[in-house]
A and B are shown apart, each in its own frame.
Chain A
Amino acid sequence: MSATVAMILVLAVGTYAFRLTGPLLHGRVDIPVRVRELLAAAAVVLLVALLATGALTESGGFAGWARPAGVLLGAVLAWRRAPFVVVVLGAAVTTAALRLAGVA
């Protein structure tokens, strides 16, 4: 089991190091406005990529129709500035209803 402990430790330390990059650099290195804006843009690009892959893929393949359909409805609601609760519950309920109706 010591190999598992080592795995957890390596994963924990590595992940924390990634997470510490921004907070450590802030205040020590003078980051130009242009770079800061690019970093914010990078976060948005990453989040949209996570949104797309999370909606459409599962274990490297297609996630089936029910999930993307629910997320698509949520995305339309979000684009039209529906409240957060409506977006999230709308997506989950749609996906659940489609599965209940036999759509994978």
Chain B
Amino acid sequence: MRSPLRTPTAASLVRDSSLVWLAAGVVGVSFGAISVAGGLPVWVPVVMSLVVYAGSAQFSAVGVLLAGGGPVAAAATGLMLNTRTAAFSLAVGDILGPGRAARLLGAHLVTDETVAFALAQRDPARRRAAFWVSGIGLFTVWNVCVLGGAIGGSALGDTAALGLDAAFPAVLAALVLPALRDDPGGPDDAGAPGGSTLSGLRRAAFAGAVVALAVTPFVPVGVPVLLALAGLALVGRRAPA
């Protein structure tokens, strides 16, 4: 994992990643601040960020705790939200690098943003570099900022005013939409990204998003994106050239 980091591509990976780090940092500060303001001791958000390391699951679990839902409901909510990381880990299983340490450490760094970053790259070396650059940076920034927020309290102003809640969906848009644009529409179309033999990815993603949005008001958090996988039924196999 060291040699790809010295190539010129590292600069662009760091530049793009740093925006995600910045946005995640602000969210981390607010997570720490909200947890402590709600009455939890400083170590709870800090330890949670280190060992769970999943922003949305942490917010949900603490939200359930602070709402008086109890630890069982808090853990169940967080776990339900994180089931998707199993699918993500399968998608990046082969890009972490050889060796037990890379796999054991890399697994902990699997997050929505880092997986999206890695999969947005074309060649394997760049995918690996993107995963580690984005992942290590995000882990560091997230934890430092949660600690800062837990100690510093509510020094941070109203984050909604900064539009940061729009930044995360926009990050995902920037990372997945270019690949979808290149996706061929039908089974006869050729020239998909990454030499995939699949087609109809755009249809599948759109249908999945519609399903997720439609069920959001009625099912527990975390379930909508899992149900989006039903969209995969629309993925077809490209006719051989």
Contact = CB atoms under 8 A, between A and B. Distances in A.
A74 B24 CA distance: 18
A54 B222 CA distance: 12
B75 A10 contact: yes
Majority-rule SS of A interface residues: helix
A90 B115 CA distance: 22
A7 B71 contact: yes
Contacts of B209: 48-49, 51-53
A8 B49 CA distance: 10
Given A14-B79, A37-B198, A94-B166, A53 B216 contact: yes
Interface in A1-55: 1, 3-4, 6-12, 14-16, 18-26, 33-34, 36-55
Most B CB contacts (10 A, CB to CB) among A3, A9, A18, A45 go to: A45
Contact of A54 (B84, B87, B168, B206): B168
Contact of A50 (B40, B96, B112, B177): B112
Contacts of A38: 198, 232, 235
Given A56-B213, A88-B174, A92-B163, A45 B208 contact: yes
Interface residues of B, number: 95
B91 A42 contact: yes
B36 interface: no
A79 B177 CA distance: 6
Interface stretch (B3-11, B100-108, B140-148, B149-157): B100-108
Nearest to B90: A22
B173 A74 contact: yes
B85 A19 contact: yes
Contacts of B61: 7, 11
Interface in B146-189: 160-181
A19 B172 contact: no
Given A57-B216, A95-B163, A48 B93 contact: no
Given A53-B216, A60-B216, A39 B170 contact: no
Contacts of B41: 1
Nearest to A56: B213
A26 B178 contact: no
18 contacts: A18-B83, A18-B89, A19-B108, A21-B93, A25-B90, A34-B237, A37-B197, A38-B232, A39-B91, A41-B204, A42-B232, A45-B208, A46-B208, A48-B205, A53-B216, A67-B163, A87-B170, A92-B163
Interface of A: 1, 3-4, 6-12, 14-16, 18-26, 33-34, 36-58, 60-61, 63, 66-67, 70-71, 74-75, 77-79, 81, 84-85, 87-97, 99-100
